């Protein structure tokens, strides 16, 4: 049987009472984090405060991506002109990564069909290079010259 590790909470969370002892699971539920996150943040601590549960810059950034709405301007199948979309919604609809969409749209409040175009990877047309050599003998010689000694 595992022992439940109790941590004293000192803060103003509405779901918890300051001065009481709580398990990591109870603290995780109250603050909306996973138990493993709470364990990592409170490892070796006997008490915790609200600042121990503040979001990191990366977590704030991820939340902003889910909140920020961008208006579609243009005509494309699957999109409504004038409707607001989040980057996460756009990512699911287009199959593009959130990061790619964010780089394409930038700080704009609107986006168009240009921003949600498919990636060009693998679609580039290879140029056919003409033969650089005048004769077959020159091309064979060039092959031998490229070989490592």
Q: Residue 130's pLDDT is what?
A: 57
Q: Are 41 and 2 in contact (CB under 8 A)?
A: no
Quote the tokens at residue 61.
């950034």
Kindly indicate the confidence band of residue 126, based on its pLDDT and cuts at 50, 70 and 90: very low
Please compute the mean of the pLDDT values over residues 64-89 and round it to a whole number.
Answer: 85
Q: Where are the domains of the chain?
A: 6-54, 59-111
Query: Residue 122: left (phi > 0), alpha (psi -120 to 50), or beta?
Result: left
Q: Is the pLDDT of residue 63 over 80?
A: no
Kindly indicate the confidence band of residue 125, based on its pLDDT and cuts at 50, 70 and 90: very low
Element (H, E) at 10: strand 6-10
| In the chain, % of residues over pLDDT 70 | 89
Quote the tokens at residue 24.
């990591």
Q: Kind of pairing, strands 47-49 and 21-23?
A: unpaired
Q: Residue 124's pLDDT is what?
A: 43
Quote the tokens at residue 130.
């003409």
pTM above 0.85, yes or no: no
């Amino acid at each position: 049987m595992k022992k439940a590790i109790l941590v004293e909470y000192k803060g103003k969370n509405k779901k918890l009472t300051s001065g009481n002892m709580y398990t990591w699971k109870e603290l995780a539920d109250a603050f909306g984090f996973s138990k493993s996150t709470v364990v990592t943040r409170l490892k070796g601590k006997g008490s915790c405060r609200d600042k121990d549960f503040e979001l990191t810059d990366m977590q704030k950034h991820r939340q902003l991506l889910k909140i920020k709405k961008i208006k579609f301007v243009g005509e494309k199948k699957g999109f409504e002109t004038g409707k607001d979309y989040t980057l996460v919604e756009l990512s699911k609809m287009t199959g593009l990564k959130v990061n790619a969409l964010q780089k394409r749209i930038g700080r704009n409040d609107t986006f168009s069909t240009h921003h949600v175009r498919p990636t060009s990877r693998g679609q580039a047309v290879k140029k056919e290079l003409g033969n650089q050599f005048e004769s077959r003998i020159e091309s064979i010689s060039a092959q031998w010259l490229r070989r490592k000694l």
